[in-house]
C-alpha cells in the first residue's frame, strides 16, 4: 500500500439521527423567505452526505450529482418536512433514494475507480498513514458489491447507524438488513482473500 | 441474527471508508447557486386544499367502481420488489398480510360533490400502531391513526377526502412507511418510499 507524507489524525464522526433545534429553526427561516438559512442546513450536512454518496456511487462526479439532486429536492419539498421528525433523517432518506436512482441510471462499470490489483496484495497495517491509493481500493471493493449489499454495509459500518435507524431510512426490514450486511461482509472478506491468492 | 464481529480485513475497509471525502472544487457553491435560482418553497394551505373544488378525470375502471358505490383502498397484500429496496422479509414487521375486502364507501355518508368518504384498510396483525399519510393530511404520520379491530389484525380508518387524485401510504409502528400494494403505485417522488394513488370521484351524480 502506498504511504503519503501527511500524518492525518482522523476522528471518525458518525451520522447522528437526532433532534436538532437548529435544523427546525433554519427550516422555519427558509419557509419564511430566508434562503440563506438553507445554506446553513447545507453546510451542516454536506460533508456527511458527500461521504455516503461517494461510498455508494464510487466516484465524485456522480456523488456531486446525487448531492445536488438531494439538496434541491429537499429544498423544493421543505414544506413537507415535519418538525416532529428529524431533519437529518428526512434528508438522509432523500439522499439514499437519490443514490439508488443515480446508480440505476449509469453504467457504473465505466465510472468506478479501477486500479491495478497489485494494490490489494499487502495486508492492512493498522499504523499506516492515510493514502489515496487506499481510498481507491476501498472504492473498488465496495463498488463490486451488489448495490443492496453495499447500501446496507455503508449504512451499518461506515455511517454506523443502528439497524433500527437503517430500517427507518430504507424501509427495509431489520432481518433483511442484517442478512444483507452479513453477506456484504462475507463477500468483502472473500474478495480480499481471493485477491491475495491471485 | 446477532451482529457479527468484523473480520480484520473488513474492519480495515470500513475504517478507511469512514474517512471524510472531499468533492470537486466549487461543488458546494454550484449547489447553492442552483438553490438560489429556485423559487421559495411554499407551505401548502390545508384549508384551501380541503375546501377547494377540483375537476378530476376518472379512469373508466374507477368511474365504474364509483358508480357502483365502491371505493376500496388500503389492503396490504405484500408485493415487494428488490428494485425499491424492499423484500419479503419486510413483511415480518407487520405479520403475514392477507387480502381483505374493503368496506364500500356506499355504506357511509357523502355530503358534497367535492368530498367523498373513503375507508382505508390494512392487515397488520403484529403492528402496534398504523396510520395513513397522504397529501390530504399533510403527510403527518400522527394525524390519522387507524383503529385495530377487536379480532384479527385489520386496521382501518374512515376519512373524508376531497375529490381528486391523491397520494397516500401507510406508516406502521410509526416508522415503517409502505405503499398500498392493492392500489396503483405513484411515480417515484425521490423521497425513498413509494406511495399509492387514489382517484376519488368529484361528482355524486
Instruction: Give this complex's ipTM.
Output: 0.75
Structure-block grid coordinates of residue B112: 358534497
- Measured at the CA of A85, the angle between CA A79 and CA A88, to 5 degrees, comes to 85
Q: What is the pLDDT of residue B155?
A: 86
Q: Do B192 and A38 touch (CB under 8 A)?
A: no
B119 Rama class: left (phi>0) / alpha (psi -120 to 50) / beta = beta
Q: What is the pLDDT of residue B53?
A: 37
Percent of chain A with pLDDT over 90: 37
**What fold characterizes domain A20-111?**
Rna Polymerase Sigma Factor; Chain: A (1.10.1740)
Structure-block grid coordinates of residue B32: 447553492
With the C-alpha atoms ordered A164, A165, A168, A170, is the resulting torsion angle positive or negative?
negative
Which ranges of chain B does DSSP label H, i.e. alpha helix?
8-17, 27-36, 46-51, 60-67
Which top CATH class is A119-198?
mainly alpha
Q: What is the pLDDT of residue B202?
A: 58
Interface test with A, best of B35, B49, B124 (most A CBs within 10 A): B35
Q: What is the pLDDT of residue B80?
A: 28
Q: Do A171 and B178 touch (CB under 8 A)?
A: yes
Q: What is the pLDDT of residue B157?
A: 83
Q: What is the pLDDT of residue A52?
A: 95
In angstroms, rounded to a whole number, what is the distance separating the alpha carbons of residues A26 and B197? 32
Q: What is the pTM of this model?
A: 0.54
- Give yes or no for a contact between B205 and B172, defined as CB atoms under 8 angstroms apart: no
Q: What is the pLDDT of residue B61?
A: 47
Residues of chain A with pLDDT under 70: 1-21, 83-84, 107-133, 195-198
Where do you find CATH 1.10.1740.10 in chain A? 20-111
Q: What is the pLDDT of residue B193?
A: 67
Q: What is the pLDDT of residue A178?
A: 95
Interface test with A, best of B4, B38, B90, B93 (most A CBs within 10 A): B90
For domain B54-200, give the CATH superfamily.
Answer: Immunoglobulins (2.60.40.10)
Domain ranges of chain B: 54-200
In angstroms, rounded to a whole number, what is the distance separating the alpha carbons of residues B79 and B82? 10
Residues of chain B with pLDDT under 70: 1-4, 42-115, 150-151, 181, 187-193, 202-205
Q: Do A171 and B176 touch (CB under 8 A)?
A: yes
Amino acid at each position: 500500500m502506498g504511504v503519503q507524507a501527511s500524518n492525518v489524525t482522523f476522528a471518525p464522526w458518525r451520522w447522528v439521527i437526532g433532534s436538532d433545534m437548529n435544523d427546525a429553526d433554519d427550516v422555519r427561516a427558509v419557509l419564511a423567505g430566508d434562503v440563506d438559512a438553507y445554506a446553513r442546513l447545507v453546510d451542516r450536512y454536506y460533508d456527511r452526505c458527500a461521504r455516503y454518496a461517494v461510498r455508494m456511487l464510487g466516484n465524485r462526479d456522480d456523488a456531486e450529482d446525487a448531492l445536488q439532486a438531494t439538496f434541491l429536492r429537499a429544498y423544493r419539498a421543505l414544506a413537507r418536512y415535519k418538525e416532529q421528525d428529524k431533519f437529518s433523517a428526512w434528508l438522509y432518506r432523500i439522499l439514499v433514494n437519490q443514490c439508488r436512482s443515480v446508480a440505476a441510471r449509469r453504467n457504473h462499470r465505466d465510472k468506478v475507480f479501477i486500479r491495478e490489483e497489485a494494490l490489494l496484495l499487502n495486508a492492512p497495517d493498522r499504523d499506516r498513514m492515510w493514502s489515496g491509493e487506499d481510498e481507491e481500493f476501498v472504492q473498488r471493493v465496495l463498488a463490486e458489491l451488489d448495490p443492496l449489499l453495499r447500501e446496507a454495509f455503508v449504512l451499518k459500518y461506515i455511517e454506523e447507524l443502528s439497524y433500527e435507524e437503517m430500517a427507518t431510512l430504507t424501509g427495509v426490514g431489520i432481518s433483511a438488513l442484517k442478512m444483507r450486511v452479513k453477506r456484504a461482509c462475507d463477500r468483502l472478506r472473500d474478495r480480499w482473500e481471493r485477491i491475495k491468492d491471485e | 441474527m446477532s451482529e457479527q464481529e468484523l473480520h480484520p480485513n473488513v474492519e480495515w475497509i470500513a475504517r478507511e471508508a469512514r474517512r471524510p471525502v472531499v468533492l470537486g472544487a466549487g461543488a458546494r457553491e454550484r449547489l447553492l447557486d442552483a438553490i438560489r435560482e429556485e423559487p421559495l418553497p411554499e407551505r401548502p394551505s390545508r384549508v384551501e386544499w380541503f375546501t377547494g373544488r377540483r375537476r378530476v378525470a376518472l379512469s373508466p375502471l374507477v368511474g365504474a367502481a364509483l358508480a357502483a358505490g365502491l371505493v376500496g383502498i388500503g389492503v396490504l397484500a405484500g408485493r415487494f420488489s428488490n428494485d425499491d429496496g424492499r423484500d419479503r422479509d419486510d413483511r415480518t414487521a407487520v405479520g403475514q398480510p392477507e387480502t381483505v375486502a374493503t368496506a364500500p364507501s356506499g355504506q357511509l355518508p357523502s355530503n358534497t360533490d367535492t368530498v367523498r368518504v373513503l375507508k382505508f384498510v390494512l392487515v397488520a396483525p403484529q403492528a402496534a400502531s398504523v396510520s395513513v399519510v397522504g397529501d390530504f393530511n399533510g403527510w403527518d404520520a400522527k394525524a390519522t391513526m387507524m383503529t385495530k379491530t377487536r379480532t384479527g389484525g385489520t386496521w382501518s380508518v374512515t376519512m373524508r377526502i376531497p375529490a381528486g387524485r391523491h397520494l397516500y401510504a401507510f406508516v406502521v409502528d410509526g416508522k415503517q412507511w409502505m405503499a398500498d400494494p392493492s392500489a396503483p403505485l405513484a411515480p417515484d417522488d425521490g423521497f425513498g418510499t413509494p406511495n399509492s394513488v387514489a382517484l376519488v370521484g368529484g361528482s355524486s351524480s
